[in-house]
Amino acid sequence: MRIVAFGEIMMRLTPPEYLMLEQTKELRLDFTGTGVNILSNLAHFGCQTSLLTNLPDNRLGEAAKASVRQLGIQDHWIGTAGDHIGSYFAEMGFGPRPTQVTYQNRRNSSFGISNAASYDFDAILAETDLIHICGISLSLTEETRSAAFALAEKAHDFGKKVCFDFNFRPSLNEEHGVSFMKEQYEKILPYCDLVFGSQRDLTDLLGMKLDETLESSKQFEELVHRFMTNYQLEYFAGTLRQGDGDKQYLTGFLVDSDHYVQAAPREIINLDRIGAGDGYAAGVLLGYSEAWPLIETVEFATANGVLAHTIQGDVPLTTRKQVRHIMEQPTVDLIR
Amino acid sequence: MRIVAFGEIMMRLTPPEYLMLEQTKELRLDFTGTGVNILSNLAHFGCQTSLLTNLPDNRLGEAAKASVRQLGIQDHWIGTAGDHIGSYFAEMGFGPRPTQVTYQNRRNSSFGISNAASYDFDAILAETDLIHICGISLSLTEETRSAAFALAEKAHDFGKKVCFDFNFRPSLNEEHGVSFMKEQYEKILPYCDLVFGSQRDLTDLLGMKLDETLESSKQFEELVHRFMTNYQLEYFAGTLRQGDGDKQYLTGFLVDSDHYVQAAPREIINLDRIGAGDGYAAGVLLGYSEAWPLIETVEFATANGVLAHTIQGDVPLTTRKQVRHIMEQPTVDLIR
Amino acid sequence: MRIVAFGEIMMRLTPPEYLMLEQTKELRLDFTGTGVNILSNLAHFGCQTSLLTNLPDNRLGEAAKASVRQLGIQDHWIGTAGDHIGSYFAEMGFGPRPTQVTYQNRRNSSFGISNAASYDFDAILAETDLIHICGISLSLTEETRSAAFALAEKAHDFGKKVCFDFNFRPSLNEEHGVSFMKEQYEKILPYCDLVFGSQRDLTDLLGMKLDETLESSKQFEELVHRFMTNYQLEYFAGTLRQGDGDKQYLTGFLVDSDHYVQAAPREIINLDRIGAGDGYAAGVLLGYSEAWPLIETVEFATANGVLAHTIQGDVPLTTRKQVRHIMEQPTVDLIR
Amino acid sequence: MRIVAFGEIMMRLTPPEYLMLEQTKELRLDFTGTGVNILSNLAHFGCQTSLLTNLPDNRLGEAAKASVRQLGIQDHWIGTAGDHIGSYFAEMGFGPRPTQVTYQNRRNSSFGISNAASYDFDAILAETDLIHICGISLSLTEETRSAAFALAEKAHDFGKKVCFDFNFRPSLNEEHGVSFMKEQYEKILPYCDLVFGSQRDLTDLLGMKLDETLESSKQFEELVHRFMTNYQLEYFAGTLRQGDGDKQYLTGFLVDSDHYVQAAPREIINLDRIGAGDGYAAGVLLGYSEAWPLIETVEFATANGVLAHTIQGDVPLTTRKQVRHIMEQPTVDLIR
Amino acid sequence: MRIVAFGEIMMRLTPPEYLMLEQTKELRLDFTGTGVNILSNLAHFGCQTSLLTNLPDNRLGEAAKASVRQLGIQDHWIGTAGDHIGSYFAEMGFGPRPTQVTYQNRRNSSFGISNAASYDFDAILAETDLIHICGISLSLTEETRSAAFALAEKAHDFGKKVCFDFNFRPSLNEEHGVSFMKEQYEKILPYCDLVFGSQRDLTDLLGMKLDETLESSKQFEELVHRFMTNYQLEYFAGTLRQGDGDKQYLTGFLVDSDHYVQAAPREIINLDRIGAGDGYAAGVLLGYSEAWPLIETVEFATANGVLAHTIQGDVPLTTRKQVRHIMEQPTVDLIR
Amino acid sequence: MRIVAFGEIMMRLTPPEYLMLEQTKELRLDFTGTGVNILSNLAHFGCQTSLLTNLPDNRLGEAAKASVRQLGIQDHWIGTAGDHIGSYFAEMGFGPRPTQVTYQNRRNSSFGISNAASYDFDAILAETDLIHICGISLSLTEETRSAAFALAEKAHDFGKKVCFDFNFRPSLNEEHGVSFMKEQYEKILPYCDLVFGSQRDLTDLLGMKLDETLESSKQFEELVHRFMTNYQLEYFAGTLRQGDGDKQYLTGFLVDSDHYVQAAPREIINLDRIGAGDGYAAGVLLGYSEAWPLIETVEFATANGVLAHTIQGDVPLTTRKQVRHIMEQPTVDLIR
């Protein structure tokens, strides 16, 4: 299955050794973004992947492209526009100190100023089986919104699978109210086949209601199925985090028209607190692309999400072998 | 409240990534010291702070001053004398391996050879509301002792607040016995308003006795009040460490003439095992300077002390926002 | 003389060891900008300096402020606005390979979106003797233009010295033609006392003509004096670069109403190819503020400009002692 | 007691900060190997140690020798042969992600191509009281096998103590079956006095059987004593790992002809997951060389093994003072 | 023109900052090799390139592939075999101190043990217009020799262009004498169209004689034309180094059936003393693939060779823009 | 010839990449000193060397000892005393910017506080053929002076060769005048056999006069011979620096009772501006210990001095092979 993602490439600048910004003059540079993360992970699983985005036509854009190729992603659908890449600084947390992300200008980035006319969707889709669209596109700019809509509609019309990730962050949408954002999400969902999201996306953003006449353990499942029927979705998936004392656990759920499956929780041990969601999504897409049983997919994807937290940076670089290792030999902590 | 600290600037040289000295040729250079630590933290809280010390008149002294300014501390009361800065090497511990501090010559440092005549106390105090004096001055050299006494007396006479920190380390006083040191501490205490210390400082150093006729939970409180009455102190404060299985907890206590308050214990997770005491002191001084209720001060200061352990280096660089975050949203470990 | 500069703080991100962007994941972070560079150098010469600009109210803004303080510049006139700092990547050249600078978005920076209303010019000028305004402000945005004009006019009215730096780069002004830019420059010049520029600024930008009836060695001098008379300037100054075989030389010129002086050329040996102009300007401002003879000023400033090329980064961190050393003992290449 | 080890020096190349190979262009270079590890630790305990091996006669070989000397080991018995040092890459694990070791060519290394004729065993043994031989020699090449046999036999004949470490890794012996390897081990054991190994070495490799008529807690002890009697061994020793929930514990056992002693388990907190076995062995050899009571030896060696996991790299660099510290003051995590 | 190179991927390990091996514990890791170098450069010029080689099927092999992709080279013809990558350490020289390269085992590398049967030449050649074969293949092992012969012959038969690079190093061929190597070179040359080499390759290795009856300036040209006629070559090309006082210059020559052209010499300023030859070859191949006039090709290729020396590492990462810049604006040493 | 040096081990802390102290938080740590430098170089030439000094009995002292061993020097005569190692910061110069050395406290170092009673000279000299004493000992403290005198006298009495290095720096002797220092030098010289120094040492320090009746080219030679006769010296040696335009050259001279020889000047290209003198001295001692002809010695030593400037740090790590390479193949700047 040839998988393409439409989304922004960002620079991540990270101080070494858990230092805070004012403590260092050295930063680690990575190129990241939901699309980059998911595709790179799928490429490490052996899938053919390609990123659809725009970058500046300068040395920084070239360096970003080189990095994307290194991650295993094809770069021939990466065009040029503008002269800016959105960036963020990640001060890595430790113990009770949270990881602190500080964003720099994203709206004026090469991606942010590119609209549907900036891309050759027909040609791209002709080489694609599944297209992943990140919900950030709906928040970023008028240009990215219009591009996302046009791409989703065209892909749907061409009979390609459309995977959409809610990725709704109120902080990115202070300009527009929730009702504006609701409209945007409702506009894209009819074209989608697989959706990643959370209960809160359905209730707080879309305004759906839990059926409180059901026993509480069934309410979320019913809500998801109602949502999926609405938009004729194949898959709805996402992750849950649970605390127990000092410990944190990750579980993934995966829903198709008939079933709701959930993985056994796995303890989260963080090297980097960013990236589990994209790792989980990559796992689900791998299972989907190879038609695994739901339970196999959800267990693999959850293990992968947990592994993503043990890798520095947002990009989950796990291989199938690594995921299988922690599923099958969790106590073997040294391989030689 | 304009806060000035009188104390030594030291070089801290730290191998990267928990390496030991013989494993590395690279060291991280920081400038530190009790005064630097407390003032920098107060500056990060928005207070106006200035350091009173001497440095060599050479490139190393200039670099130290630049670092102090970067931390937010004013440098116009930093003078020059001698040609040496005391230094220490911190081999950072991991798990059961303790952090190992190795000191280099401190007594011949620019600070160590400067006495009362080396500073213009009158001018400095005219711009100061509270002066912090570190007890290390009483241990270091005859010169630093005389300077500390003169400064404390003069500040007291001028009606300025004097904050004193016991900071008694037997290892620094092998030359003089405890009885000599007791005299020094007794000489400075009459000029003080706020004091940081521990039960051991009162019993082992000053030779006070717990009233064992009281129930044990009240003995420390009574001892502190007796001590405070003796010297007409406003505040006595300090921290306690408690172990529970593998875990370690930090609690701060704060005492005024009428009350003894103690914070809820917070788990310590160490990135750096040095610095919690100064973080706690900065929190207490902030509450004091803004006349917070004792309980608010002690909770804030304890949270700050715990955060200090999550920051590399001795200097607690926390902001009010960061401290409030872990008090109010302790489970949010990623902010973006 | 209390010197204030009005200008942008930028991030400079530099790969280590002459690597190109695609060769490294590590970058060195510095905060820079014409104002930062000149003030920091003046502070290292012992002057009192303060920067007037805006930064984002976030952790990156705080880190920038800390860096500015470390450089010796006061930060109390640095306000907050927006959420972006303009940045550039400097791939350091070696031999025939040029240093390559790649800019990221500057127009949407905190500085770029701040206009006259964003600053309290009256209060600032009350504490200032000389204000430095960088010509980049005229190129950047409508907001920075209006702020620069208002500041220059007000400073002039208050009887403060205004120093202006042409800093005209066609590449920053592609949007507006030269005639638009000419108008802007002509609008600010009447308020100025000291100006840094080049022959090309006067001829190509302002459209002045060399008097070709004079012997060629006098034409530039006459042009400058005509320009200075026009705008009643005290000083006009700048640098010239001359090649001789493989070698490059720097000379500074300095003109007052009566004299034209030029320094003996000094060979340029580059550690960093950015920063000589600001080093030269700092030298001239030092001489001006202390009323040195022109020839002393121009020699010192040229030596300082050459030293700036031996220091990594844009910021010339030289002291008077260092400049004097290469003027007086140029063959002593090891001091101990 | 003059202790010599016969074994391979390897290069270990480790990415910094838990990065994986594809994430970094920087590697840390260490020289390691069972012999290096044990001898360096013994040297840190104050013993006189010397390594017997071969290295390439080039700059890499010289650097390896310099590193060995730095670790405290004498290098005058290190000869030259070939032009290659075996190497491995250690991608350090974090949480559930295991440490991943990737070996490069070992069989063609300078050590791998050297046989008995490459060394002057007589001269070496004349200066030696105890010789340590690592079982890897039996797996590596025909040359290393023949050298190990010749050395063990000669040492035994000269009345020197021979210490042998099973170090059996099936992955290194895919070429030869277990029965071939069994023969090799049986060939060397008659010359040995001290042996490090595990129950699995005795049962799976040597094919011995547990006496299941005994109660299970006695079966291993009886097996070991049977094995020791067979080969007339003085000591048999090794480590056990036990999990308890998330935690892992290390215990060492030590057996002489009459006793079986086992240390209290100590929790393992890993900075580096490689090296505890060699740390344990060094502790046992120290106790042996100074004739400590078994229980003292096993407690010290176990504490040392646990400390080895807190030190980056394979080489345990602990001193007696450090080991004693965690035995006597385990809660003091900061020494100054 | 689709260009494929057949050759070895090597690890280059370089100490930072001109340190020697014994002075550092940190190394920079690059993947390199003649094929990698030329293809990466061509990819930076916009050509489609693919590497034909084998790597270990382990994490190091994966990291090497990721690096090759990052350089712009396609990796789908990179197969797996063995478990070793040849490596070398480059201690970078400074001034009179030469760069010192120390090789580790190359013959047992994945590439070294792969023969013609390890690759699917038919499929590869079907997608290829020009194949580059490095002469190192003839020196390395019996397997690489047989693979090189088979590939050259098949490419020739399929009507593909074959480019061959002498790359003869006596030090790699100590085992076999010159006459053996002569036979190997003579065996491959009949299949070749473009050849890179030197006068010494023709005289010392192939045993050809200069026609000393000609005037000396014509002897080399006549020799080359004789050689080219012999083997019906389209192009013969190479570089010459000339010293003049302290300075070194590089010139390229390029010969077709009718002409001998030579570029104007360019001064060499070394950041890295390795890589000019591959940079020159990439320039020639670019000109060839786009049918440039010879003189244009040779000037471009020489400029590129000189630029290669200003880039750290063996891999010339120049773009057309960079090469054109130093040809057209050599005095502009700062671009912004 | 077994060579021992008596002298101080210092810490050298160097910012990376030509940064100045205020520009970096990272420092490179080396252990150095005249004795360390000369012995390490001699060890690299294959001589047996041992250092006689004292270090603190703490982790820093241990790390220093490990470093000394790594350099090839035996450490069994390194004792313990005090708790301080003298240190200096080296800000590496570039082009016209000089290297700036800033010393920290040396007089209170372990070496500085050790006198003759701190060492077992008899035992040491029994194992020594030549002892090197650095003139710094005469400047440092009363203790080091007395130790140097006692050692020189005893060595002389035991018939051992005594090599003395003037190393007179007025800046280290501000406390005592020149006449005091003259006495000290005159006290030690009668015990010496080989002396390193300069014309200025003889004229300005010892107060000897050039015989101006001789032609000027002979005056220095005559002066040296007069000095040598006075003290019955075998060798007097030193280096001269000469400038020619931008270039600097190094020449060594070497004098025995009958001859004055001087090497051909070699251009100095500096990676590090410290260390040539010790490199030259090591070369002379090698020639002396192997009884080379004077001219061979002086040429080798001068080449070695020039190489020392191409190596980072004070310690010349050259091998005979490296020195011979630049003597015999100066144009081969890449060895592989």
Chain segment B7-47, per-residue pLDDT in tens: 999 999 999 999 999 999 999 999 999 999 999 999 999 99
Q: What is the mean pLDDT of chain C?
A: 96
Closest CA to C67 of C116, C33, C115, C18: C33
Q: Are B134 and B6 in contact (CB under 8 A)?
A: yes
- Which of D272 and A169 is assigned the larger pLDDT? D272
Contact assessment for residue E53 and residue E8, using Cβ atoms and an 8 Å cutoff = yes
* Cα–Cα dist F306/F251, whole Å: 9
Neighbours, chain B (3 or more CB pairs < 8 A) = A, C, D, E, F
Q: Hey, is the C-beta of B313 within 8 angstroms of any chain C C-beta?
A: no
Q: What is the least distance, in Å, from the CA of D91 to any CA of chain A?
A: 10
Matching residue, tokens 């750096």: B272
Nearest to E21 among D60, D83, D84 (CB): D60
- CA–CA separation, D118 and C42 (whole Å): 68
The DSSP bridge pattern shows strands C78-80 and B78-80 to be unpaired
Provide the token pair at B131.
Answer: 């002066």
Asked if residue B139 lies in contact with residue B172, where contact means CB atoms within 8 angstroms, the answer is yes
State the CATH number of the domain containing residue E64. Answer: 3.40.1190.20
Reference C140, options C189, C175, C182, C88; nearest CA is C175
Write the CB contacts of A208 (distance below 8 Å, at least 6 apart in sequence).
A202, A223, A226, A227
Average pLDDT score over chain D: 96
Answer whether residue A333 is part of any domain. no
* Contacts C96 to E, Cβ<8 Å: 266-267, 269, 306-307, 310, 326, 330
Residue E288 to residue E284: CA distance in whole angstroms: 6
pLDDT beyond 80 at A170: no
Instruction: Please indicate, yes or no, if residue D100 is contained in any of the structural domains.
Output: yes
Answer whether residue E175 shows pLDDT above 90.
Answer: no
pLDDT tens profile D202-233: 999 999 999 999 998 899 999 999 999 999 99
Stretch A90-112: mean pLDDT, rounded? 95
Task: Show the domain range for E167.
Answer: 2-326
Element (H, E) at D253: strand D247-255
Sequence-separated contacts (24+) of D215-221 with Cβ below 8 Å: D221/D255, D221/D260
Q: How far is CA A142 from CA A9, A203, C107, F90, in A?
A: 18, 25, 20, 55
CA distance A33 to chain C (A): 17
What is the β-pairing status of strands A26-32 and A10-14?
A: antiparallel
Q: What is the 3-state secondary structure (H, E, C) of chain E?
A: CEEEEECCCEEEEECCCCCCHHHCCEEEEEEECHHHHHHHHHHHCCCEEEEEEEECCCHHHHHHHHHHHHCCCECCCEEECCCCCCEEEEECCECCECEEEEECCCCCCCCCCCCHHHCCHHHHHHCCCEEEEECHHHHHCHHHHHHHHHHHHHHHHCCCEEEEECCCCHHHHCCCCHHHHHHHHHHHHHHCCEEECCHHHHHHHCCCCCCCCCCHHHHHHHHHHHHHHHHCCCEEEEEEEEEECCEEEEEEEEECCCCEEECCCEECCCCCCCCHHHHHHHHHHHHHHCCCCHHHHHHHHHHHHHHHCCCCCCCCCCCHHHHHHHHHCCCCCEEC
D19·A312 Cβ contact <8 A: yes
For residue D266, list chain B residues with Cβ-Cβ distance below 8 A: 96
How far A54 CA lies from chain C's nearest CA (Å)? 15
- Tell me the per-residue pLDDT of E20-40, one tens digit each, with 9 for 90 and over: 999 999 999 999 999 999 999
Percent share of chain D, pLDDT over 90: 93
Give residue B117's identity as a one-letter amino acid code.
Answer: A
> Is the pLDDT at D35 greater than 80, yes or no?
yes
CB–CB of D178/D205 below 8 Å? yes
Residue for token pair 């600078």: C101
Per the structure, how many domains does chain B have? 1
The shortest CB-CB distance from B66 to any of C62, C70, C319 is to C70
How is residue A265 annotated by DSSP?
P
Q: How far apart are CA C50 and CA C73, in angstroms?
A: 5
Coil, strand, or helix at residue B43? Answer: helix
- Measured CA to CA, the distance from residue F309 to residue F311 in angstroms comes to 6
Separation of alpha carbons C161 and C284, rounded Å: 14
Angle of helix F276-289 relative to helix F294-308, nearest 10 degrees, comes to 150
Pairing of strands D2-6, D130-134: parallel
* Mean pLDDT of the D45-65 span: 98
Give the rounded percent of residues in chain F with a pLDDT score beyond 90.
93
Residues of A in contact with C20 (CB under 8 A): 59
User: Considering the domain boundaries, does residue E255 fall inside one?
Assistant: yes
Q: Across-strand partners of D241?
A: D250
CA B49 to chain centre: 15
**Predicted pLDDT at D174:** 73
Cβ contact F77:F4 at 8 Å = yes
> Mean of the pLDDT values across residues D271-281?
95
The answer for residues whose C-beta is within 8 angstroms of residue F192's C-beta and 6 or more apart is F152, F156, F162, F163, F164, F231, F233
Asked if E317 and E40 count as a contact pair (C-beta separation under 8 A), the reply is yes
Question: Which helix (H) or strand (E) segment is D14 a member of?
Answer: strand D10-14
Which residue is it, tokens 């013609």? E116
C19 near E CB under 8 A: yes
Tell the residue number behind the tokens 């980064």, with chain if given.
Answer: C313
* pLDDT values of chain B reduced to their tens digit, one per residue, 336 residues: 899 999 999 999 999 999 999 999 999 999 999 999 999 999 999 999 999 999 999 999 999 999 999 999 999 999 999 999 999 999 999 999 999 999 998 889 999 999 999 999 999 999 999 999 999 999 999 999 999 999 999 999 999 999 999 999 877 777 788 999 999 999 999 999 999 999 999 999 999 999 999 998 899 999 999 999 999 999 999 999 998 888 999 999 999 999 999 999 999 999 999 989 999 999 999 999 999 999 999 999 999 999 999 999 999 999 999 999 999 999 999 998
Give the pLDDT score at C176: 81
- Are the C-beta atoms of E186 and E153 separated by less than 8 Å? no
> Does any domain span residue D57?
yes
Of C19, C103, C169, Cβ closest to residue E312: C19
Task: Please tell me the predicted confidence (pLDDT) of residue D106.
Answer: 85
**Closest Cα of chain D to C15: distance in Å?**
13
DSSP structural state of residue B201: I
- In chain B, residues with a C-beta closer than 8 Å to the C-beta of D70 are 22
Q: How far apart are CA D187 and CA A137, in angstroms?
A: 70
Quote the CA–CA distance of F35 and F42 in Å, as a whole number: 11
CA distance linking residue E303 with residue E251, whole number of Å: 9
Residue C211 lies inside a defined structural domain of this protein = yes
Which pLDDT band, with edges at 50, 70 and 90, does C169 fall under?
Answer: confident
Q: What is the pLDDT of residues A191-215, one digit of tens each?
A: 999 999 999 999 999 999 999 999 9
In one letter, which amino acid is B328?
A: E
In a domain, A14, yes or no: no
**Residue A26 predicted with pLDDT over 80:** yes
Residues of F in contact with A25 (CB under 8 A): 23-25
Cα–Cα distance measured from residue A221 to residue A208, given in angstroms and rounded to the nearest whole number: 13
- Positive or negative torsion for Cα E316, E318, E320, E322: negative
DSSP label at C97? B
What is the model's pLDDT at position B244? 86
pLDDT digits (tens, 9 = 90+) for A270-318: 999 998 999 999 999 999 999 999 999 999 999 999 999 999 999 999 9
Whether residues E70 and A72 touch (CB distance < 8 A) is answered with no
Neighbours of B215 (CB within 10 A): 7
Beta bridge partners, D308, equal none
pTM listed for this prediction: 0.97
Q: Look up tokens 């030197």; give the residue.
A: E198
Domain-embedded: residue E307: yes
Q: In a mutagenesis test of the D interface, which of F44, F58, F65, F69 is the best target, namely the one with the most D β-carbons within 10 Å?
A: F69
Which residues lie below 8 Å from residue E161, measured CB to CB, with a gap of 6+? E129, E130, E131, E155, E193, E194, E234
Residue D30: list chain E partners with CB under 8 A. 25
- Count of Cβ atoms closer than 10 Å to residue E169 Cβ: 11
Whether F333 is covered by a domain: the verdict is no
Cα angle for residues B229, B235, B241 (degrees, 5° grid): 110
H-helix or E-strand spanning residue C55: strand C48-55
In angstroms, rounded to a whole number, what is the distance separating the alpha carbons of residues D133 and E164?
A: 50
The predicted model gives D6-35 an average pLDDT of: 98
Nearest CA in chain B to A23: B312
Of F269, F311, F331, the CB nearest to E243: F331
- The residue behind tokens 């920091």 is C40
Percentage of residues in chain E with pLDDT exceeding 70?
Answer: 100
Query: What stretch of H or E contains B321?
Result: helix B320-328
CB contact, 8 Å: A187 with chain B?
A: no
d(CA C121, CA C130): 13
How far, CA to CA in Å, does E185 sit from each of C318, E8, E117, E167, E207?
A: 60, 18, 21, 11, 12
Strand (E) positions, D33-129?
48-55, 78-80, 87-91, 99-104
F48, HSE (Cβ side, Cα atoms, 13 Å): 9
Phi/psi-derived region of residue B77, left when phi > 0, alpha when psi is between -120 and 50, beta in every other case: alpha
Q: How confident is the model at residue F175, as a pLDDT?
A: 75
Q: How confident is the model at residue F111 (pLDDT cuts 50, 70, 90)?
A: very high
Distance separating alpha carbons of residues C274 and C295, to the nearest angstrom: 25
* Closest Cβ–Cβ partner in B24, B59, B104 for F21: B59
Distance CA C238, CA C165 (A): 9
E23/B contact by beta carbon, under 8 A: yes
